[in-house]
Amino acid sequence: MAAVLAKILGVIGRLMIGAGVLILLFVAYQLWGTGLQTQAAQNDLRTEFDQQLAEARAQADAAGSTTTSTTTEPVAPVSTLPDGTAENPGDLGRPAEEADLGIQWGDPIGRILIDKIGVDFVYIEGVELSLLQDGPGHFPETSFPGQPGNAALAGHRTTFMAPFNRIDELSAGDLVQVETVQGTFTYEVMAQPDGLGHRIVGPDAIEITEDKGDDRLTLMACHPKYSAAQRIVVEAKLVGNPAAKTKASEPGDRTELPSLGEGGDAEAQQLLASGDPAARLPALLWSAAALAAIFVAWLLGHLWRKARWPVYLVSLPIVGLLLWHAFEWINRALPGAY
């Protein structure tokens, strides 16, 4: 009886150790693995955005644009040409009032640089979790950065390269730059009532994306780090005059989510903290496949004791690939990819 009990406890112990290892691997995936995905996406987005800038410059040159930049001099180079040369493009010949730039959700629409905290990301249109894994996202129901009104961006703080990881370090007067096809724009961080450069709000504080009667940039992320219980908000005022306002974006082929429509900002903020229901089934299937592969590898190693380690080595890449996909879908299904 004692031997049977010891054997049962041994099996339970090994299962708990295995579960602990899987949990640690998933945490490692969240903190570092997601960054690999974002880096690859950012590389593609930068190429696409550089093409947009090149086309805007060509159009400006063709039109013989003589307008000057409406913002202060940039604090750092904000554009990298295909040959690696860094330059400030200045005014790119801004589209006329209510022009349609043809922006769809998931498209790269600008570049944000915050020299103080090392931020240099291409941001995209849309704030769903499936989009934010590529980089910071723009709330579709708010103004575009550089244009009149309140332009709001959201980004992760601990996963997917954590673009807004250090926005709590920003102080009043710090500069934030955005580069779009309309030009380069500088924002100055505003002091909050307590004197800090940020404030903490609840997850349902949709007023932070509303128009405040001025031209500002609102940066938002989950707070505290590793949690989606609250939101950290940094607000910055535009230095100089805004560009012409253009038409709002349209839901595109890159996302199957419908337009947020009226009250969309509230729904968008909820999407930041809630998991993707569509990811639950793939997460379950990939997890089952990964666990099945682990079991088969263990069983073969148990049956072929002399070839145990070769079996494990052959199984390792297969199990690793299945676990990677399982972690990817689990991360999307869980509430709050921080």
DSSP for 292-327, please give it.
HHHHHHHHHHHH-GGGHHHHHHHHHHHHHHHHHHHH
Neighbours of 12 (CB within 10 A): 10
- Residue 122 above 60 pLDDT? yes
Residue 124 has φ and ψ, to the nearest 5°, of -120, 175
Contact between residue 238 and residue 216 where contact means Cβ atoms under 8 Å apart: yes
**37-273: CATH superfamily:** Sortase (2.40.260.10)
What is the band of 307 on the pLDDT scale with cuts at 50, 70, 90? confident
Pairing of strands 230-239, 216-223: antiparallel
Q: Which of 27, 35, 33, 40 is nearest to 321 (CA)?
A: 33
The residue among 68 and 315 whose pLDDT is bigger is 315
In the prediction, which pLDDT does 128 show?
A: 85
Q: What mean pLDDT do residues 226-242 have?
A: 93
Contact between residue 237 and residue 215 where contact means Cβ atoms under 8 Å apart: yes
- Residue 149 above 90 pLDDT? yes
- Residue 79 above 60 pLDDT? no
Query: Which residues on neighbouring strands pair with residue 124, listed in sequence order?
Result: 108, 137
Residue 185 CA: distances (Å) to CA of 78, 100, 178, 215, 228 = 10, 20, 5, 11, 30
Average pLDDT over the chain reads 83
3-state SS assignment for residue 71: coil
- Residue 62 above 90 pLDDT? no
* Domain ranges (residues) in the chain: 37-273, 275-338
Residue 263 has φ and ψ, to the nearest 5°, of 75, 20
Interhelix angle 308-333/280-303, rounded to 10 degrees, is 170
Identify the weakest region by mean pLDDT among 34-43, 49-58, 65-74, 279-288: 65-74
